[in-house]
Amino acid sequence: MTTEPTPGTAGWPPPVLDPAGPFAGPIEVVAWVLFVMAAVVMTVVLIALGIALFGPRRWKRRVSGERLVWIGGLAFPIVVLTGLLIYGLTTTARVAEAPRPGEMRVRVTGEMWWWRVAYLDDQGREILQDANEVHIPAGQPVVFELESADVIHSFWVPRLGGKTDMIPGRRNFMRLQADQPGTYGGQCAEYCGGPHALMGLVVVAHTPQDFAAWRARQAGPAVALDAAAPTAAMIARGRDVFAASGCGACHTIRGTEANGLAGPDLTHVGSRQTIGAGILPNNQGTLAGWISDSQGIKPGNRMPSYPVLTGQDLRAVSAYLDSLK
């Protein structure tokens, strides 16, 4: 089973040059300025090198003149870099302010190697928890409160904004906004050991009405099993396999006896777009593959593989998890 790039983090144009919100626009400006400046500097250096090697002696003296060195080597970089620094600090100050009354708040905690997501009320109290996927209403800014439970991570959704480090013992703030409903990929942008490159996430922007409906569904417990459903027997067996295998020691499924906190909350795992922190599409086949060989798919992650489960058990438990919408 091969992993895939998190949706929205690859392709053309590069995500950082395809902003989808007001907080990503300034990042695009900085990127273009840096690209243009690098092209200009490279062109000037190549011309000067060509003159120094092959040009007339009179031109060589001009290239090696002290005045040119002072202007090109000191004055120009100071002016350009100072301007970029002021622009960057101004932009960062606007994005990184503490939450204001009435703003939507989401706390994202980086863990090896996945994302714990908590939706907060105005007082900063947790309303509900999810993992590896953030849902927001389109057209309004959302404050992200960024923390780390272990090492330094960095939260980056390139089409919506810049990256912000997640540092143990510290809380950083950033604002993101999606102008239109859609799916936007993110990635940990700070090397955090092991499968760092496989630590992705998905941000899903909804219309305000759809977001309210999604939030109401997520706030409830796992949906009770419909005994009349054609797959009821398979799902019931999967629920039993999940409990017997000790999965509830690490994972929570609200409304059941599973109350573990070490791993992602699975109450509505069937409704997520990806599994494994953005690396696999979410369906019964990938769920079964992940459970049986998570270490082969994402070496070093904290979830053990379960090769002892039979094919029938894997199909059952993946059907159960897929039913948790």
| Ranges of the chain with pLDDT below 50 | none
- Which pLDDT value is given to residue 98? 81
pLDDT at position 56: 85
Q: How many residues comprise the chain?
A: 325
Give pTM, 2 decimals: 0.86
In tens, the pLDDT along 36-59 reads: 888 888 898 888 888 888 888 877
Domain layout of the chain by residue ranges:
1-215, 232-322
Q: Rounded CA gap, 184 and 112, in Å?
A: 22
**Residue 6: how many CA atoms within 13 Å on its side-chain side?**
28
pLDDT, tens digit, 9 for 90 and up, residues 106-143:
999 999 999 999 999 989 999 999 999 999 999 999 99
Q: 274 to each of 84, 100, 173, 277, how far by Cα in Å?
A: 37, 32, 25, 7
Write down the architecture of domain 232-322 according to CATH: Sandwich (2.60)
- DSSP string computed for 154-212: EEE-TTT--EEEE-BT--EEEEE--SSSEEEEEEE-S--STTGGG-EEEEEEE-HHHHH
| pLDDT at position 228 | 66
Pairing relationship of beta strands 142-148 and 280-281 according to DSSP bridges: unpaired
Question: Three-state DSSP class for 126?
Answer: strand
Equal CATH topology for 1-215 and 232-322: yes
Q: Does domain 1-215 have CATH number 3.40.50.1980?
A: no
